[in-house]
Amino acid sequence: MPLEIERKFLVKGNGWKTNNGKPYVQGYLNLDPKRTVRVRIAGGQAFLCVKGPTRKATRSEYEYKIPLDDAKALLKMCEGSLIQKIRHTVDYMGMKWEIDEFTGENAGLIIAEIELESEDQVFDKPPWLGSEVTDDPRYFNSSLATRPFGAWGKN
């Protein structure tokens, strides 16, 4: 079973900023915490992804490339809001970081993610890394589709 082991952090400052950002748009066909089904368009390619429940920093993940036209049609069927972001890739001390600069309803939120080989893998933390939010479900992309960051201060 393919597993994703990922830790997430808020980002502070602009020391991470790159010129290699790629626009992403994604939506969720199923938002059940036991299994989410996501459709994503990234840089002209499209993917369908099924993820299992998150346990600590680990979950099962199955991702498949799909035709772009299918993805565009599926995005119209998604629950909640579409997630829009610019993904930057930064190498730091031999590790690849993906930094999502959210736009649209989640504008102002910047999250750095690192994929690991094991949950206890040691890695160097860049100076622009803020608080860890791996275990905070508010920062899951699937949660941001139903309760966008821009609405957090509103009741």
For the annotated catalytic residues, the residue numbers are: 28
Give the pairing type, strands 22-32 and 58-66: unpaired
Both tokens of 101, joined, read 């600069």
Backbone phi and psi for residue 117, each to the nearest 5 degrees, phi listed first: -85, -25
Both tokens of 21, joined, read 């950002």
Helix (H) or strand (E) holding 32: strand 22-32
Give the pairing type, strands 22-32 and 3-11: unpaired
